[in-house]
Amino acid sequence: TFCIRGIIRGYMRVYVCEDSFEGLMTAVYSAWADKLGHKNVRLELEGEYNLQLFAEYVSVKPDKEKTEKVIRTLRKISEEVFTCVYRAAMSKEKEKANKIYHFIVLAVYTGPEVMKQLGNPVVMDVFELARKVMNEAHRFLQFVRFEELENKILFSKIAPKSYVLTLIAPHFEDRLMGENWIIYDEVHKMAAVHVKNAQWALVDTEISMGDSAKKESAENRKYEELWKLFFHTIGIEARKNPKCQQNFLPLWYRKNMLEFDQQE
Counting residues of the chain whose pLDDT is more than 90, the rounded percentage is 62
What's the Cα-to-Cα distance from 179 to each of 16, 152, 198, 203, rounded to whole Å? 40, 9, 10, 18
Bridge partner residues of 16 (DSSP): 44, 59
pLDDT at 54: 78
The lowest-confidence range among 50-59, 179-188, 196-205 is 50-59
What are the CA-CA distances from residue 88 to residues 24, 112, 135, 204 (Å)? 11, 17, 12, 21
- Do residues 84 and 46 touch, judged by C-beta distance below 8 A? no
- Please, which pLDDT band fits residue 248 given cuts at 50, 70 and 90? low
Q: Higher confidence at residue 222 or residue 98?
A: 98
What per-residue confidence (pLDDT) applies to 11? 73
- Residue 255 pLDDT level (bands cut at 50, 70, 90): confident
Contact by Cβ (8 Å): 230, 163: no
Answer whether residue 245 shows pLDDT above 50.
yes
The pLDDT value given to residue 98: 96
* 159 close to 185: Cβ distance less than 8 angstroms: yes
Mean pLDDT score of the chain, rounded to an integer?
84
- Identify which has the larger pLDDT, 8 or 243: 243
Distance separating alpha carbons of residues 67 and 82, to the nearest angstrom: 12
d(CA 49, CA 94): 8
CA dist 18 to 43, 70, 91, 153, Å? 11, 17, 13, 32
Q: Mean pLDDT throughout 133-137? A: 96
pLDDT at 33: 93
